[in-house]
Amino acid sequence: MVNRTKEVLTKCDNSLYGHYPHFVSMKKILQELQEYVKEDEYGDDYGEGDYIANFEKQIADLLGKESAVFMPSGTMAQQIALRIWCEKKQNFKVVFHPTAHLEIAEHKGYSFLHNIQRVQFSVPELLSHRLLTFKDFQNINESFAVALLELPQRLIGGQLPSWTELSQISRWCKEKEVVLHLDGARIWECKHFYQRSYKEICNFFESVYVSFYKGLGGLTGAALAGDKTFIAEARIWQRRYGGNLRTQFPYVISAKIGLEKHLEKMDLYVSKTIEIVELLSEFEQIQIVPNPPHINMFQMFIKGEPEKIAKAHLQMAENYKTWLFYPPGKSLLPNYSQTEMMIGENALKVDLEIVHKMLNEIFAII
């Protein structure tokens, strides 16, 4: 199925998912990077240099923080952030959502590398499929150093708490002298929902992690932002992690391109997402979470078995040269399969009438 998926994807002229063609040659990527930079611009030397320093300042200013450091991965950035705050507080207990990246995608690196313990919100912890609330924090009876919030919460469809809820959680953390850290891997997509600047959103948090390859389409890379003392310590930990690479300039260039290409289009992407969800909601075989979407992401539940849906979709994608979604997997919703949708640059040129027609034919097959 993987080879067949790749074969069909390369034949598709349009895609409802993501920003760019799903397979781009290395040569084309390198050519784009080359065209973007000037002759008199130079790469960094172990994180030192004007180009990377100016970009780090741009990110810090955008997020309303004193300083920022570019890192090769968000996994590194967030574990470093937790370690610094836990040491400062002399308390190695933290709280975060059970579907946070640190918990499900990093082999519990925070525990194995730093002996940090995650405090559960309840026993049993029955909140994997909803947002954390102010009341959840109030009900914790154990002291901890750091609270990590993910905005938006990816694995529940990119949901976001209300501004009031966010304010209450922030105020509670300040009263309890708990550090509030932001997993802002997709913070770039949140501005439309809150109708506030990135600086205003990040003002709730002592430290912020952002990604440059998810919503912005960069090659890879992340940034950690906070006050100057925090970032100075983060640079030391970056070296300890082996993340102070000989040079990172290709990733920095790619991140800058992503910011310029997509940041001002985020509202447009969200508007397009709402339009697409309205179309999808016409089909009784499809359920959307959340509906309406909070950002340009949502989970799509499709009635039927994953294998049958994937096979029918590949057939239609090849016929119409239009890609709708990645092969779905099983879901907790009985008799439904599940896939994630991220709407970006690609969807702006897709004929939604074709999408409607493809879905009708898919459901006729399955």
* pLDDT per position as a tens digit, 74-124: 999 999 999 999 999 999 999 999 999 999 999 999 999 999 999 999 989
Model pLDDT, residue 263: 97
Model pLDDT, residue 5: 87
The reply to whether 225 and 281 lie within a common domain is no
The reply to whether 187 and 48 lie within a common domain is yes
Summarize pLDDT for 117-168 with one digit per residue, the tens.
Answer: 999 999 899 999 999 999 999 999 999 999 999 999 999 999 999 999 999 9
Q: What is the CATH number of the domain that holds 191?
A: 3.40.640.10
The reply to whether 10 and 72 lie within a common domain is no
Q: Let me know if residue 29 belongs to a domain.
A: no
Domain boundary pick from 195, 212, 246: 246
Q: Let me know if residue 38 belongs to a domain.
A: no
Q: b/e string for 31-51 if b means 16 or more Cβ within 10 A? A: eebeeebeeeeeebeebebeb
Q: Let me know if residue 260 belongs to a domain.
A: no
Domain around 164 = 44-246
The reply to whether 226 and 126 lie within a common domain is yes
| Angle made by CA atoms 305, 153, 171, in degrees to the nearest 5 | 155
The reply to whether 341 and 293 lie within a common domain is yes
As a whole number of angstroms, the distance between CA 83 and CA 31 comes to 39
Exposure on the CB side of residue 353, measured as CA atoms within 13 A: 0
The reply to whether 269 and 180 lie within a common domain is no
The reply to whether 274 and 240 lie within a common domain is no
DSSP 11-57: H-SEESSBSS-S---HHHHHHHHHHHS-TT----BTTBSHHHHHHHH
The reply to whether 52 and 116 lie within a common domain is yes
Closest listed residue to residue 115, CA positions, set 93, 144, 138, 89: 93
Task: Please report which residue ranges of the chain form alpha helices under DSSP H.
Answer: 2-11, 26-36, 50-63, 74-89, 101-104, 109-114, 134-138, 163-175, 191-194, 198-202, 228-240, 249-262, 266-280, 306-320, 352-365
The reply to whether 121 and 217 lie within a common domain is yes
DSSP 309-333: HHHHHHHHHHHHTEE--PPPEE-SS
The reply to whether 187 and 329 lie within a common domain is no
Q: Let me know if residue 360 belongs to a domain.
A: yes
225 φ/ψ angles, rounded to the nearest 5 degrees: -130, 145
As a whole number of angstroms, the distance between CA 140 and CA 134 comes to 11
The reply to whether 126 and 164 lie within a common domain is yes
Q: Let me know if residue 352 belongs to a domain.
A: yes
Q: What is the CATH number of the domain that holds 11?
A: 3.90.1150.10
The reply to whether 18 and 61 lie within a common domain is no
- Domains of the chain: total: 2
CA distances 204 to 61, 173, 207, 214, 364, Å, are 15, 10, 9, 23, 49
Domain boundary pick from 192, 217, 246: 246
Strand partners, 94: 118, 146
As a whole number of angstroms, the distance between CA 320 and CA 291 comes to 27
Classify residue 284 by its DSSP letter: T
**CA–centroid distance for 3 within its chain:** 27
Q: What is the pTM of this model?
A: 0.96
As a whole number of angstroms, the distance between CA 347 and CA 16 comes to 5
287 φ/ψ angles, rounded to the nearest 5 degrees: -120, 135
Q: Let me know if residue 121 belongs to a domain.
A: yes
Beta carbons within 8 Å of 217's beta carbon, 6+ residues apart = 18, 19, 20, 258, 261, 262, 344, 345
Model pLDDT, residue 133: 97
Q: Let me know if residue 48 belongs to a domain.
A: yes
Q: Let me know if residue 336 belongs to a domain.
A: yes
Point out the residues of the chain with pLDDT beneath 50. Answer: none
Model pLDDT, residue 22: 80
Model pLDDT, residue 1: 67
Domain boundary pick from 190, 215, 246: 246
Closest listed residue to residue 176, CA positions, set 217, 142, 152, 129: 142
